[in-house]
Structure 1
Amino acid sequence: MSHFFAFLARMKFIQRWGLMRNTFTENIQEHSLQVAMIAHGLAVIRNTYFEGKLDAGKAALMGMYHEVSEVFTGDLPTPVKYFNPKIKAVYKDIENMSQMKIYNMLPHELKNSYLGLLARQDEDRELWQIVKAADKISAYLKCAEELKAGNQEFSVAYKSIKQELDNNKLPEVKYFMEVFAPSFSLSLDELNNL
C-alpha cells in the first residue's frame, strides 16, 4: 500500500498567506494548478518568441508538484522563511526532507517517473527558473485580486513582488506581465466586452 496520492490530496487543506487577512482563501492545491498553467505558458512563450526549446509539459508538471513538501511543513510565511540566512537554509533542508519522504512513499517501479518532479535535478535548472517565475507571478496575481477586492492588506506585498517581477531577466516573464497580467484587474463584464 502507498500513501503517496493520499498525502498529495491533503494539499487542499494547506492555506496560503496565513499572516494576512484574505478576502478569499487560497490553498496550495489551487495555487499549484495556477503555477502549473503559468509555467506551461511561460515555456510556450519562450519557445514561440524567444527561440527556446523547453519542455512545456514538464514545466507544467513541475509547477503542479512544486509545493508538495508543504503537506508536512505547512505554508511558512515569506517574512519568516527569509528572516535570516540560517532560517532559510534550515527550512530548505526541511523542504528537501519532506519531498524525499513523499517520494519514498512511491512504489519502487514508479520512482523514476517522479524524481524530477519531487527533487530538483541539475538538467532541469531552466525549467525550475520558469516554475519559480510562475510561482512569483501567481503571488502577484493573488495580491492584485485582493487589492481589486479592496483589501489593502496586500498592498506592500503587491509592490514588492511587482518589483521582483520587473527586475526578472526572463523575457517570457516580461511578455506575460505585459500581455496577460493586466486582465486580472478587470471585472467579468469587462473581460466579456473586450
Structure 2
Amino acid sequence: MTAPHNFFALISRMRYIGRWGLMRNTFQENIQEHSHMVAVLAHALAVIRRDIFGGDLDPGHAAALALYHDAPEILTGDLPTPVKYYNPEIREAYREVETVSARRLLSMLPEALRPAYEPLLLEDPESEYHTLVKAADKLSAYIKCVEELKTGNTEFRQAAEQTRRALEDSPLPEVAYFLEHFLPGFSLTLDELQ
C-alpha cells in the first residue's frame, strides 16, 4: 500500500488564509479567491500580450503559475505587505521561508508528479511569466481596493493610490492596455455593467 499524499488537501486549505489582515475589510478575501482572480488576470495579460502586442507567452501557463503563486502561504500565512517589504533583509528572509514552504509542499506529491509542479511553486523570479504574474497580483490588489472604496470603506484609499501608481509605472504594455480598456468596469454597478 502506498503512503497518502497530502498536497491537494493542503492546497484546498488556501481558503482559510485571509488577506489584508491589517485592514478593516468590508468583505474578507482569502488566498484561494485571490489566486483565482490573479489567474484570470494573468491569463488576460498574456492573451493581450500575444494578441494585441505580438508576444509569445502561453496564457495557460501564466494562469497556472498564478493559481499557485501564493500556495506557500498555506504553511507560512499571509505576511502583510508593509512588513514583507519593510527592508531588503526581511524581504530576502521571507523569500527563503517561501522557498522552504514550496519545497515542503512539493515533498507531499508523488515523486513522478513533482517535476510538473516544481516550476509552478518555485518559479524563476527573473522570468517574463513571473513579471506578468506579479503585475496580475498587483492588478488584483488594486481591484480589491476599488471594490472596498465603492462600499465607502476609506481604509483602502492610500493602498489604492499607491497600487494605482505602481500599475501606471509598469513597463508592461499589456498592463496599460488593461488599465485603459478593462479596469473602468470595476467601478460600475451591476446595472451599469449590463
TM-score (norm 1): 0.97
Q: Tell me whether 1:17 sits opposite 2:38 in the alignment.
A: no
What displacement does 1:141 show?
Answer: 0.2
Partner of 1:95: 98
Q: Tell me whether 1:138 sits opposite 2:165 in the alignment.
A: no
- Counterpart mapping for 1:33-182 below 5 A: 33-121=36-124, 125-182=127-184
SS at the partner of 2:112?
helix
Matches of 1:113 and 1:89 in 2, distance apart? Answer: 26
The number of equivalent residue pairs is 191
Matches of 2:180 and 2:173 in 1, distance apart? Answer: 11
User: Are the counterparts in 1 of residues 124 and 130 from structure 2 also a CA contact under 8 Å?
Assistant: no
Partner of 1:30: 33
What displacement does 1:85 show?
Answer: 1.2
Matches of 1:53 and 1:35 in 2, distance apart? Answer: 19
Q: Deviations over 1:69-113 (max 9, x none)?
A: 100111100011111111111111001110111011110111111
Matches of 1:184 and 1:121 in 2, distance apart? Answer: 31
Q: Deviations over 1:104-152 (max 9, x none)?
A: 1110111111111011137x70111110000000000000000011000
Matches of 2:149 and 2:162 in 1, distance apart? Answer: 14
Matches of 2:127 and 2:91 in 1, distance apart? Answer: 20
Letter of the 1:133 partner, please give it.
A
SS at the partner of 2:113?
helix
Q: Percent identity?
A: 53
SS at the partner of 1:108?
coil
Q: Deviations over 1:145-174 (max 9, x none)?
A: 000110000000000000000000000000
CA RMSD of aligned residues (A): 0.9
Q: 4+ runs of 1 displaced by more than 4 Å?
A: none
Stretches of structure 1 that go unaligned for 5 or more consecutive residues are: none
Q: Which has the higher helix share?
A: 1
TM-score (norm 2): 0.97
Q: Deviations over 1:27-50 (max 9, x none)?
A: 000000000000000000000111
Stretches of structure 2 that go unaligned for 5 or more consecutive residues are: none
What displacement does 1:23 show?
Answer: 0.2
Matches of 2:92 and 2:117 in 1, distance apart? Answer: 24
